[in-house]
Amino acid sequence: MNATTALRNGWQKVFGAGARSARPAPGDTSHGTILYLEDISVSFDGFKALNALTLYIDAGELRCIIGPNGAGKTTMMDVITGKTRPDAGSAWFGQTTDLLTLSEPQIAEAGIGRKFQKPTVFEQHTVMENLELAVAGTKTIWTTLGSPLDRRQHERIEEVLETIRLQDRRSMRAGMLSHGQKQWLEIGMLLAQEPRLLLVDEPVAGMTPQEVERTAELLLSLAGKHSVMVVEHDMDFVRSIARRVTVLHEGHVLAEGTIDEVQNDPRVVEVYLGE
Amino acid sequence: MQTSHPAIRLLAGERGTQVFLALLLTVGVAAPIMHLAFPEGSALHLSSYTMTLMGKYMTYALLAIAVDLVWGYCGILSLGHAAFFALGGYAMGMYLMRQIGTRGVYGDPVLPDFMVFLNWQELPWFWHGFDMFWFAALMVIVVPGLLALAFGWLAFRSRVTGVYLSIITQALTYALMLAFFRNDMGFGGNNGLTDFKDILGANINAPGTRVALFVASAVALGLGYLACRYITLSRAGRVVQAIRDAESRTRFIGYRVESYKLWVFAFSAVLAGIAGALYVPQVGIINPSEFQPINSIEIVIWVAVGGRGTLYGAVAGAVLVNYAKTYFTATIPELWLYALGTLFVIVTLFLPKGVVGLADKFTSREPAARAVTA
């Protein structure tokens, strides 16, 4: 029995399984919390990247995560998106979706989108094609081979183009965009997936002040409709968008609160802000 | 905006494709006429040698398209595609062997000569069914396809990529070569399968049959090209190119990358198998040297020389390199491998988009925007 189940799961992973695929029910947030990370530990060759990390994100919240290099911010995102499996702990998306049992595409399908630190748009594809690749819908090869986008998907793409203000760049190759525009396109690709939770890694690194301001507006406009988790070093930027800030240090949560509370916390000052 | 259905865009908008299809149509119609309608000695007569040579190039071109699909578009550098080509060839060869009947040297009505020679009493189980053309034709597709599915499923699921994948594809074709060299395998050992007489009841050496095989190769090349072009123009094609450019990114936006790679790889293997099946009756022999690792590497060179990621570039490369090979191996055979090596170095260093990239540079108003920048 177990062998059959394992075989079927493997089959579905590689071949995609149409109607039979166990599409995970999207995170049930009836308790107001969309992400539960509890006692997560990850170690690489003895180095504890995450050490009993416990963190909750509320539905519709915009949360900033700060912390010195090596505090475990990226590893935490890797765990949430299924790239890294923790040695211990649990990770739930809403009350019903156990992230640790899902593969990366299944997690994306369940409604968690991630923006990487470096802009990783598809440079050879146009802006439009980038959004088309990302837009929510069936993503098995038989669908993408046989049928063009439906009307709802087209509308969604137009909506996103407007939000990220790249309408007039739609036919441009993404590789030709400026750094800031690439970052927005990438956020747009996340939005096109209609995620419940967005993970955004250092969105304003390397941006001009105008671009930073525009990005802050963009992220603020998303909160409420989506839950957003932003990892960022730029304290001015964090101050301009965050209501709640979590400070990570050596793989666990050091402090949590408003930006003022956190900045005045002596432990935080010692490890991070005081440097 | 890309609202039109891919089928409409198959023929439109790309000059390379239009030129290729026009050439293929011209050659596919003109060559048989020149061969059959004009008597030998006439200036317009095409010899059966040239005819067969062109048919052979067409099967190579189909093989090159198959490699371009996985390498140029999906980023999988397969150095084992000659194995799928040879398997398709063996499936066809087995059918042709069964057609010999009592005309073999030993005159056994069922057993091919080499089995009689090895003192075998009955036909091995895997030779059954190959007396029927439809069964052999099915096997031409099924055997390479299934091998590619099994191999790809193991390799892609374990996320073997890049140079490691290339190495195990070399190992695959090398292992098959060693296996097929053994007499016990039941595929004629190092002599392979040859001495064919009939195909579908027609004498395999008759001019009419030669023409039919030539036309079949041209049709297969045309259809294979259009199928690949359909794939690359569909949304799936853009997903496949996204996988080539940023695999893990594609996985994160919700695509089952392994599944895409697997199906593209299997489809490509089937095309290679069909090419092999058309190759064997035209050259009259299939033996284990077709599995040589160097053969698979040569295909990759054809594609690189022509220009990968364009399909028509692969065709151009296959024809150019093989024409050069035919010419050089006839005149200065000892220099051919050096010439091939030099060609590859020059193309890699100076022509990252191959000869079609060069042609585009000189003639086109807009550069080949989609071609891979190496």
Instruction: Write down the pLDDT at residue B352.
Output: 87
pLDDT profile of chain A (275 residues), mean per 10: 58 47 54 89 90 92 88 91 92 91 88 82 94 91 89 93 92 93 91 90 87 90 88 86 88 90 86 60
Contact B231 A14 (CB under 8 A): no
Instruction: Write down the pLDDT at residue B42.
Output: 86
Q: Are B46 and B27 in contact (CB under 8 A)?
A: no
Chain A residues within 8 A of B367 when measuring between CB atoms? none
Assign residue A261 the CATH number of its domain: 3.40.50.300
Closest chain A C-alpha to B255 CA, distance in angstroms: 6
**Partner residue facing B241 (CB), from A108, A124, A145:** A124
B259 located within any domain = yes
Distance, in Å, from the CA atom of B14 to the CA atom of B16, rounded to the nearest integer, reads 6
B49 located within any domain = yes
Q: What are the tens digits of pLDDT across the range B106-123?
A: 999 999 999 999 999 999
Distance, in Å, from the CA atom of A103 to the CA atom of A95, rounded to the nearest integer, reads 18
> A229 has which bridge partners?
A63, A199
Disruptive mutation site among A106, A144, A166 for chain B (greatest number of B CBs within 10 Å): A144
Q: Are B238 and A132 in contact (CB under 8 A)?
A: yes
Cα-only R_g, chain B = 21
Distance, in Å, from the CA atom of B353 to the CA atom of B374, rounded to the nearest integer, reads 7
pLDDT of B350 above 60: yes
Closest chain B C-alpha to A15 CA, distance in angstroms: 5
Q: Are B155 and B165 in contact (CB under 8 A)?
A: yes
Based on the structure, what is the number of domains in chain A?
A: 1
Written as one string, the DSSP assignment of A64-112 is EEE--TTSSHHHHHHHHTTSS--SEEEEEETTTEEGGGS-HHHHHHHTE
Contact A14 B260 (CB under 8 A): no
A186 located within any domain = yes
Element at B320 (helix H, strand E): helix B312-331
Instruction: Write down the pLDDT at residue A24.
Output: 44
Burial of A44 (0-12, 13-18, 19+ CB in 10 A): exposed
A6 located within any domain = no
Closest chain A C-alpha to B25 CA, distance in angstroms: 27
Distance, in Å, from the CA atom of A166 to the CA atom of A149, rounded to the nearest integer, reads 20
Domain range for A268 is: 27-273
B368 located within any domain = no
Instruction: Write down the pLDDT at residue B171.
Output: 97
Q: What are the tens digits of pLDDT across the range B41-80?
A: 888 899 989 999 999 999 999 999 999 999 999 999 999 9
Contact B1 A109 (CB under 8 A): no
**Chain B interface with A: residues with Cβ < 8 Å:** 1-3, 5-6, 153, 156-157, 231, 234-236, 238-239, 241-242, 245-246, 248-260, 262-263, 369-370, 372
Q: Are B67 and B303 in contact (CB under 8 A)?
A: yes
Distance, in Å, from the CA atom of B95 to the CA atom of A171, rounded to the nearest integer, reads 52
Contact B238 A133 (CB under 8 A): yes
Q: Is A251 left (phi over 0), alpha (psi -120 to 50) or beta?
A: left
Chain A residues within 8 A of B256 when measuring between CB atoms? 13-14, 16, 105, 139-141
Distances from the Cα of B296 to the Cα of A64, B70, B151, B331, B349, angstroms: 52, 13, 16, 24, 21
Written as one string, the DSSP assignment of chain A is -HHHHHHHHHHHHHH--GGGS-PPPPP--TTSEEEEEEEEEEEETTEEEEEEEEEEEETT-EEEEE--TTSSHHHHHHHHTTSS--SEEEEEETTTEEGGGS-HHHHHHHTEEEE-SS----TTSBHHHHHHHHSSS--SHHHHHH----HHHHHHHHHHHHHTT-GGGTTSBGGGS-HHHHHHHHHHHHHHT--SEEEEE-TTTT--HHHHHHHHHHHHHHBTTBEEEEE---HHHHHHH-SEEEEEETTEEEEEE-HHHHHT-HHHIIIIIT-
Please provide the average confidence, as pLDDT, over all residues in chain B: 91
Q: What are the tens digits of pLDDT across the range A191-227?
A: 998 889 999 988 888 888 999 999 998 998 888 888 9
Closest chain B C-alpha to A128 CA, distance in angstroms: 8
Report which residue type is found at A274: G
Distance, in Å, from the CA atom of A111 to the CA atom of A126, rounded to the nearest integer, reads 24
Distance, in Å, from the CA atom of B110 to the CA atom of B128, rounded to the nearest integer, reads 10
For residues B239-269, one letter each, b for 16 or more C-beta atoms within 10 angstroms of the residue's C-beta and e for the rest, the string is bbbbbbbbbebbbbbbbbbbbbbbbbbbbbb
Contact B6 A149 (CB under 8 A): no
Whether chain B has a CB inside 8 Å of the CB on A178: the answer is no
Instruction: Write down the pLDDT at residue A225.
Output: 84
A153 located within any domain = yes
A165 located within any domain = yes
Burial of B201 (0-12, 13-18, 19+ CB in 10 A): exposed
Instruction: Write down the pLDDT at residue A17.
Output: 42
Closest chain A C-alpha to B199 CA, distance in angstroms: 36
Q: Three-state DSSP class for B251?
A: helix
Instruction: Write down the pLDDT at residue B132.
Output: 96
Whether chain B has a CB inside 8 Å of the CB on A33: the answer is no
Q: Are B277 and B140 in contact (CB under 8 A)?
A: yes
Whether chain B has a CB inside 8 Å of the CB on A116: the answer is yes
Beta strands in B137-231 (DSSP E): 193-194, 198-199, 202-203
State percent of chain B over pLDDT 70. Answer: 95
- Place B340 in a pLDDT band, splitting at 50, 70 and 90: confident
Contact A133 B253 (CB under 8 A): yes
| Residues in Cβ contact with A106 at an 8 Å cutoff, skipping those fewer than 6 apart | A24, A82
Q: Are B215 and B28 in contact (CB under 8 A)?
A: yes
Instruction: Write down the pLDDT at residue B367.
Output: 46
Instruction: Write down the pLDDT at residue B364.
Output: 59
Disruptive mutation site among B159, B252, B373 for chain A (greatest number of A CBs within 10 Å): B252
Contact A120 B246 (CB under 8 A): yes
Whether chain B has a CB inside 8 Å of the CB on A19: the answer is no
Closest chain A C-alpha to B153 CA, distance in angstroms: 7
Task: Give me the torsion for CA of A14, A19, A20, A22, rounded to 10°.
Answer: 80
pLDDT of B258 above 50: yes
Which of A239-243, B83-87, B151-155, B286-290 shows the lowest mean pLDDT across its residues?
A239-243
A219 located within any domain = yes
Closest chain B C-alpha to A179 CA, distance in angstroms: 18
Assign residue B238 the CATH number of its domain: 1.10.3470
DSSP-assigned letter for residue B76: -
Contact A13 B157 (CB under 8 A): yes
- Place B224 in a pLDDT band, splitting at 50, 70 and 90: very high
B248 located within any domain = yes
> Searching chain A, which residue's CA lies closest to the CA of residue B5?
A148
B370 located within any domain = no
Q: Are B91 and B280 in contact (CB under 8 A)?
A: no
- How many residues comprise chain A? 275
B97 located within any domain = yes
B369 located within any domain = no
Q: Are B90 and B187 in contact (CB under 8 A)?
A: yes
Q: Are B11 and B21 in contact (CB under 8 A)?
A: yes
Closest chain B C-alpha to A74 CA, distance in angstroms: 15
A13 located within any domain = no
pLDDT of B88 above 60: yes
Domain range for B324 is: 6-363
A10 located within any domain = no
Instruction: Write down the pLDDT at residue A46.
Output: 83
Mean pLDDT of B304-328: 94
| Strand A47-58 versus strand A62-66 pairing type | unpaired
Contact B234 A144 (CB under 8 A): yes
State percent of chain A over pLDDT 70. Answer: 88
Based on the structure, what is the number of domains in chain B?
A: 1
Whether chain B has a CB inside 8 Å of the CB on A179: the answer is no
The residue among A136, A182, A179 whose CA lies nearest residue A155 is A136
Residue pairs spanning A and B at CB distance below 8 A: 96
Q: Are A68 and A249 in contact (CB under 8 A)?
A: yes
Distances from the Cα of A139 to the Cα of A132, B235, B268, angstroms: 11, 10, 21
